[in-house]
Structure 1
Amino acid sequence: MSHLTHTPSSPAVFRIVDLFAGPGGLDVAAEALGHRVTGIEWDDNACETRAAAGMDTFAGDVRDYRAADFPHAQVLTGGPPCQTFTVAGHGAGRRALDEVLKYIAQLHDAVRSDETPWHEVEGTWSGISEELRLKAAEADTVKALKREVEATRSVTRKAVRKNLAEHGCSTEEIEIALKTLEAPLALVRRDADLKSLFDGLVSLEKSLDAHRVRLEELGDERTGLVLQPLWWVIERSRRPGLVPYEAVVLEQVPAVMPVWEEYEKVLATLGYRTRTQMMHTEAFGVPQTRRRAVLMARFGKTDVPELEETHHRYRPGGVPTASRDADRTDTPLWGADEESVGRRKRRRPKDPWVSMEAALKMAKDIALDLPDLDLPDRPAFTVVSNYGTGGDPAARGRRDHDTPSSTVTGKVSRNRLINKATNTDLPRFELAEAGVLQTFPVAYPWRGRDRSQQIGNAVPPRLALHVLRHVLEPELSEKEADARLEQAVAKLENWRPPSEPAKIRRREDLEGHPLTGR
C-alpha cells in the first residue's frame, strides 16, 4: 500500500527486489513512481528505519537468499558494499579489483553457451563461493592472531617506555626510539633486559607486517558481495523454470565502474542491452555534489541511452545559472571524449543546480505541517567539513549556503555551520536536514543507531527516481517523461510515513510473500 498523499499514475507497475537496500533511498523513489519494492538489508539500524517508513524488508545477509526465492520480481536493483578498488598501481586495491574481475570472467565463461547445463553453471558459482569462504575463514584467523600480537606489542612498548624513563631518557628520545625500534647503544650494552625488549619489539613488528601482507592477499569479504547481483541475474537467466529480469539497475562509488563494465559483458551474453554512466548527483537536482557509478540494463531489444542531465553541474566559485540556456561547457561524462560530447544534441535546456539554502527552505516549509518536526531558521551560513581537502587534514572543506552541499557522509553531523554575517557557530544540521540534502523527504523517519551513517550511505532518492524512470519507462515521450518526473518529485518531497510500521521479515517469512510464489 502506498504512503503517498496521492496515488501516482504509472505506465506500468514493476515489482522490484533491492539488494543491500539500506534505509530506503531507492524504495521511496520507486514508491513515488508507483512501483513496489522488496528490500534485503542486513543492518538492524537501517531495518528499523525501513520499518518505520513502511518499506517491505527481509532482514539478513544477501548471501542467505537467492534469486529463486523471488521468482515474481521483475527488476533487480542494488548497491553492494564497496571496497577500495583502483586501476592504478599494484597495491591492495589493484589486487582486489583483479580478483573480482577474475571471478566475473569465470562466470562469463560458464554462461557463454546456452547449451551449458545449469548444474555446471551453478558449480562454477559454488566453486567461487567456497574459495571466498575459505579465504574469509583464514582472514578471521589471521585477524585474531594480529590482535594478539598487537596486544603483546602494546605491553612491550609500555615496558620500553618505563625502562628508558628510568634510564633518564627524555620523552622525545623515547618516542624516537620507539619509532626507529633502536635504543641508545650505550644503554643496550649495559641493560640486557632493555636489549631483550627491543629485540621483542622488532620481532613483533615483523609478525604484524606478515599478518598485514597475508590479509591483503586474502582480500576483502566484500568481494563476494559485489558479485551477488551478477549471480542473481545469471540465476534468473539460466536456472530452469525462471525468466530473466526485465531490467537491472546497480549503483556504487566511482571506483566500482570497472566492475560494472565487466558486468556489461556478461549481461550482453545473457540478452541485455546495457549502459554504464558516471552520474553527478547535483546534475539531477540533488543539492549535493556526489558521483555515482551506475549500471542500467534492459532485457531484449530495448536500448538504454545515456541519461540526460537535467541541471547544471556545480563548479567551485561559480553561480547557479538563472537562465535555462543550454550548457555546452560541461565536462565529458565518464568514458566520453570531447568530440562525442560535442556531437550529442541536448533535448532540453538545463535548470540551475539546487543549493542547500533552497532545499532547506523547502523542507522547513513542508515541516510546518509536521507537528513533531521543528526545523531551525537558517541565516546565510558556511559549512566547514569534518574532512580535510587537497590531502591536508587541517584544510577543512567549506561550502556556502547558496551552493550544493559537499558529499553527505556518515560524519555529516560533525560538520560545523558558521553564520556568515557574525562568524559565530550555528546549530549543526538536524538529521531531517541531512536527509533532505540526500533528497529524502523531510518527514522520513530515521530510526535505530548510526543515523548519520545511514543517511551518508544511502542512494539519493532523487537520483534513483531519475534512473528508475529512465530504465523502466523507455517508451515515454519527452513530454510524458517530464510530466512523470515533475509529479514524482512533488510526491517524493511531500511523502509521509505510514501510521503503523511495517513488519521486518526473515527468511522463514518467505512463505506467502507476493514475490515468492509460495
Structure 2
Amino acid sequence: MSSPGTQVHPLDGVRILDLFAGPGGLDVAAHFLGFKSIGIEWDRNACETRYAAGLPTIHADVSVMRETRFDEIPKSVDVLAGGPPCQSFSVAGRGAGRAALSTVKEFIHRLVSGEDEALIDRDLHARGVDPRTALVLEPLRWLLKAIETEGRDPYRVIVLEQVPAVLPLWGVYAQLLRSGEGRLKGVKYEADCWELKTEQFGVPQTRTRAVLVARLVGSGAVERPPTTHLPFDVRRGRGSTARAQMLPTKSGPPHGWLSMAEALDAASALTESSLDMSRFRTGGRTKFFVVSNYGSNGNPKNRGRRLSSEPAFTVTGKVSRNKVYRNDEDYDADRSDRFTIAESGVLQTFPHNFPWSGNDQAQQVGNAVPPRLGMHVLSHALRGTAPSDAELAGSTTWPTFSGNTADELRAIGCGDQSRCPQNGHKVTRAGRKSAP
C-alpha cells in the first residue's frame, strides 16, 4: 500500500500484459502472486467486471491495439500472457479451428520467416480461416512487434493457454521460439508446452488446458509445473448406479482432488461471504448432484452427472443451465436448483466476493482461466517455484476497491470511447449498455 499523500498511477509497475484478458483469471492469479498486470479485452461486460475488481484494462481489439496503439503499453511490461478465444477450437464448438490446424501451422512459419503481414492477412481471409481461429497468431505477432520496435525489449517470459486441441500449435510456437530464426532475430527462448488438468492443481473442476511457457535463454529452464492433487477419472462407470446410491457418503480421497462441496463449503464459511449452502445441507453435510446441460458420448439425452463429493464438470458459459438436485426425490419431482454466479466463480477458483459485473456473467465465468491454475503456471514461469501455501490460502477473498478506482480505470480503458471496439458502448432502447 502507498503511504498517505502518495498517489500511485494504476499502470505504474505493470509487468504482465494479458491479451484476451476476459474478466481476469490470469490477472487475479498475478495479483495474488504479487505481480501487476494490464489486460486487453474486447467484451464490454468483461471490462466492467475488471474495472469493478480494480484490474487495469484497455477496452480494445487486440489486433488493432498491436497495429496502431502499441506505444500505449507500458515499457515495464516484460511478460506476455493470454488465451486467444477458443470457440472454434473447442470440443463443444463446430471444430473449424481443429480442421484448420495444419493451415495455421503454415501461417505461423510464414509470420516468422518475414513474409509481409498484409499478404498473410489476405491469404487467411481468402482461405476461409475463421477470424477467431486466426487470433491464435496474435501472441506471436505481439512478440515480433516487441522485437522489431525500437526502444522495446523482447518479452522475458511468455505464457499462453488454450483448449487441448491447440497443443500442436503451441508445439510449433515452442520449436520456433527455441530456434531464434527469421524475424526473431536470434532471440531464443527455453520453451515447452503441456496439457494440464485443473483438478490436479486444486481446482474443484475437471478442465484440461494446453499451456505454453517460454523464458528467454539465460532465465532458467522451463519445467512442467508439478501437480498437487490426484487426477479424477471422468470415465468412471456409473451407468447402472441407482440414483439413491449416487449421493456421497464421504468426501474425496485424502490429498485427492478438491470436491465441489469442499470448495463451496469453505467459501461460504468465509467472513462476509454471500454463499449460502444451507439449501443443500442434509444431516449437517452438503450433499447434491449436478446434471449437466450437455449430453455424453454423442447422445444429447444422456446427461452427465457429478456428485457434490466430486469435482464439477468443466465450467462453461452455460454453467447456469446445469441443474442441481439435493436428492433423488427432488430429481423425480424435477425440483432443481442452479449455481449462482458467485458459486460458479468459486468452482473456477475466483474469490467468493469477486465483483462480477455487466451482462452475460455466466459466459464471463466460463470463459475465464481458473485463477488457481494460473497461479501455478505463472509462479513457475516467473519464479521457477510453486506458489507458496500462504499465497494459495490468501487467494480466497478479493480486496474491495472504491467506485473512484473503477471510474479511474474506466477512464484509462475507455477514454472518450472513440478508440473502443465498434459498437462497444452501444446503448439499447432499455438504456442498458450491450455487449459488443
Overall identity of the aligned pairs, in %:
46
Given residue 33 of structure 2, which amino acid in structure 1 is its aligned partner?
A: L
**1:304 lines up with 2:222 in the alignment:** yes
Structure 1 unaligned regions, length at least 5: 3-12, 111-122, 136-216, 323-350, 510-518
**1:412 lines up with 2:315 in the alignment:** no
- Any conservation in 2 of the 1:16–1:75 contact (CA below 8 Å)? yes
**1:126 lines up with 2:101 in the alignment:** no
Given residue 282 of structure 1, which amino acid in structure 2 is its aligned partner?
A: E
Aligned length: 365
Deviations 1:376-421 (A, max 9, x none): 4223111000111011000000000000001011111111111126
Q: How far does residue 375 in structure 1 lie from its aligned partner after superposition?
A: 2.2
- Any conservation in 2 of the 1:84–1:255 contact (CA below 8 Å)? no
**1:454 lines up with 2:364 in the alignment:** yes
Q: Which residue of structure 1 aligns with residue 153 of structure 2?
A: 243
Deviations 1:322-373 (A, max 9, x none): 2xxxxxxxxxxxxxxxxxxxxxxxxxxxx3110000000011101x424xx2
What is the distance in 1 between the residues matched to 2:347 and 2:98? 33
Residue 312 to residue 32, structure 1, CA distance change in 2 (3 Å)? same
**1:491 lines up with 2:391 in the alignment:** no
**TM superposition score normalised by structure 1:** 0.66
Given residue 423 of structure 1, which amino acid in structure 2 is its aligned partner?
A: D
Q: 2:262 aligns with which of 334, 358, 366?
A: 358
- Any conservation in 2 of the 1:30–1:468 contact (CA below 8 Å)? yes
Given residue 141 of structure 2, which amino acid in structure 1 is its aligned partner?
A: W
Structure 2 unaligned regions, length at least 5: 3-12, 181-186, 238-250, 282-286, 417-436
Residue 95 to residue 395, structure 1, CA distance change in 2 (3 Å)? closer
Q: Which residue of structure 2 aligns with residue 224 of structure 1?
A: 134
Q: Which residue of structure 2 aligns with residue 31 of structure 1?
A: 31
What is the distance in 2 between the residues matched to 1:416 and 1:95? 33
- Any conservation in 2 of the 1:15–1:74 contact (CA below 8 Å)? yes
Q: How far does residue 223 in structure 1 lie from its aligned partner after superposition?
A: 3.2
Deviations 1:70-100 (A, max 9, x none): 232110000011254599xxx9555522221
Secondary structure of 2:193's counterpart equals: strand
More helix by share: 1
Q: How far does residue 46 in structure 1 lie from its aligned partner after superposition?
A: 0.4
Q: Which residue of structure 1 aligns with residue 383 of structure 2?
A: 473
Q: Which residue of structure 2 aligns with residue 254 of structure 1?
A: 164
Residue 85 to residue 20, structure 1, CA distance change in 2 (3 Å)? closer
Q: How does 1:151-230 map to 2 (within 5 A)?
A: 217-230=127-140
Q: 2:113 aligns with which of 88, 104, 109?
A: 109
Secondary structure of 1:423's counterpart equals: helix
RMSD: 2.4
What is the distance in 1 between the residues matched to 2:316 and 2:14? 31
Secondary structure of 1:453's counterpart equals: helix
Secondary structure of 1:296's counterpart equals: strand
Q: 1:82 aligns with which of 70, 79, 86?
A: 86
Secondary structure of 2:330's counterpart equals: coil
Q: Which residue of structure 2 aligns with residue 179 of structure 1?
A: none
**TM superposition score normalised by structure 2:** 0.78
Q: Which residue of structure 1 aligns with residue 77 of structure 2?
A: 73
Give the structure with higher Rg (CA). 1
Residue 86 to residue 27, structure 1, CA distance change in 2 (3 Å)? closer
What is the distance in 2 between the residues matched to 1:224 and 1:239? 23
- Any conservation in 1 of the 2:161–2:211 contact (CA below 8 Å)? yes
Secondary structure of 2:137's counterpart equals: helix
What is the distance in 2 between the residues matched to 1:441 and 1:86? 26
Given residue 284 of structure 1, which amino acid in structure 2 is its aligned partner?
A: F
Given residue 430 of structure 1, which amino acid in structure 2 is its aligned partner?
A: T
